[in-house]
Amino acid sequence: MLTDLLQLDIFRFFLVFTRIGAALMLFPGLGGSLVSTRIRLLLALAVAFVIMPVVAPVFPAVPKSVGGMLLSVFGEAVVGAYIGTVVMFIMSTLNMAGSMIGYQTGLTNAFSFDPISQQQSQLLTGFLSNIGLVAVFATDLHHLMFQAAYESYALFPPGQPLQFGDYAETLGHLATDTFKVGTQFAAPLVVFGLVFYTGLGLLSRLVPQLQVFFVAMPVQVMVGMWLFMVTIPLVISLFLRFFESGLMPYVQPR
């Protein structure tokens, strides 16, 4: 009897660790390559150990076959990856805004490491991503990520059929919202770029001898950076609101 109980607990713990580990692997600031692999593994084990007694009653009985066990593990990994992907899509809003702002300020050739996308990106994209990530942790909104991972057991109970169609539809709508909100964040700089290049074209027609791009590049960078620094507090504030509203559907109302 004791052997059966231990085997059941180990199997449940492994399923919890699979879902939590898959989600943490994609969470910004926690699953990046800059975080030690050992720390990520210990964090996933600790979170799984804490929530396992709470969510254990929702797990079905241990499958009789190895194929059933592998299918259960696969389902938990898919749900965890889905929760992590939702958070990544929300964070990519700043990547979209930073890329559009970089084009308008003439800083598209300046690159830095972006901890969200885990690759080299435009300077302003990396800057916005870092500021947004710091703001998320400073305002304790990262608790929503863990709460969404925990309460996913109520939305997606273990052992239930995977709703791939619903997952794809939700991510599609979220990608649309991400593009729309990112464009709204960059709207002041987009308007500035439109007016600036229109005036530049008129100036080149009126004074053909003038090297307009040589003269306009410093002005574009200075005015663009000034406008960017003026709008960044509002951008981060709206991003935090979007981050919270994007995760609230996965959190049970209290």
- Tell which residue, 80, 87, 84, 61, has the closest CA to residue 153: 80
pLDDT for 5: 46
Q: How far apart are CA 35 and CA 115, in angstroms?
A: 10
Which of 103-112, 119-128, 211-220 shows the lowest mean pLDDT across its residues? Answer: 103-112
Higher pLDDT, 5 or 191: 191
Question: Which of helix, strand or coil describes residue 42?
Answer: helix
The token duo for 174 is 């979220």
Phi/psi of residue 184, nearest 5 degrees: -65, -40
Other beta carbons within 10 angstroms of residue 3's beta carbon come to 7
Rounded Cα distance, 23 and 77, in Å: 8
Quick one: tokens of 193? 């770029």
Distances in whole angstroms, Cα of residue 207 to Cα of each of 57, 103, 199, 211, 247: 77, 25, 12, 9, 54
Which residue, among 18, 24, 52, has the nearest Cα to 40 in the 3D structure? Answer: 24
Q: Give the number of other Cβ atoms within 10 Å of residue 108's Cβ.
A: 14
| Residue in the block written with tokens 């919202």 | 177
| Residue 86: other Cβ atoms inside 10 A | 22
Q: Is 115's pLDDT higher than 70?
A: no
C-alpha distances (whole Å) from 166 to each of 8, 90, 133, 195 are 31, 18, 28, 42
- Determine the average pLDDT of the residues in 201-219: 75
1 pLDDT band (50/70/90 cuts)? Answer: very low
Count of domains forming the chain: 1
d(CA 225, CA 104): 10
Neighbours of 60 (CB within 10 A): 12
Band the pLDDT of 2: cuts 50, 70, 90. very low
239 has pLDDT over 90:
yes
Three-class DSSP category at 87: helix
Q: What is the mean pLDDT of residues 141-154?
A: 87
Instruction: State pLDDT tens for residues 56-101.
Output: 778 777 777 777 788 888 888 888 889 989 998 998 898 888 888 8
pLDDT, residue 207, reads 75
Q: Which of 1-10, 101-110, 224-233 has the highest mean pLDDT?
A: 224-233
Q: How confident is the model at residue 117 (pLDDT cuts 50, 70, 90)?
A: low
Burial of 152 (0-12, 13-18, 19+ CB in 10 A): buried
Q: Which two structure tokens, joined as six digits, stand for 213?
A: 């791009």
**pTM over cut 0.85:** no
* pLDDT(157) > 50: yes
Which structural domain, as residue segments, surrounds residue 142? Answer: 2-250
Question: Does pLDDT of 136 surpass 80?
Answer: yes
Q: Rounded to an integer, what distance in angstroms lies between the CA atom of residue 190 and that of residue 6? A: 60
Whether residue 4 has pLDDT greater than 70: no
pLDDT above 90 covers what percent of the chain? 5
SS3 of 219, please?
A: helix
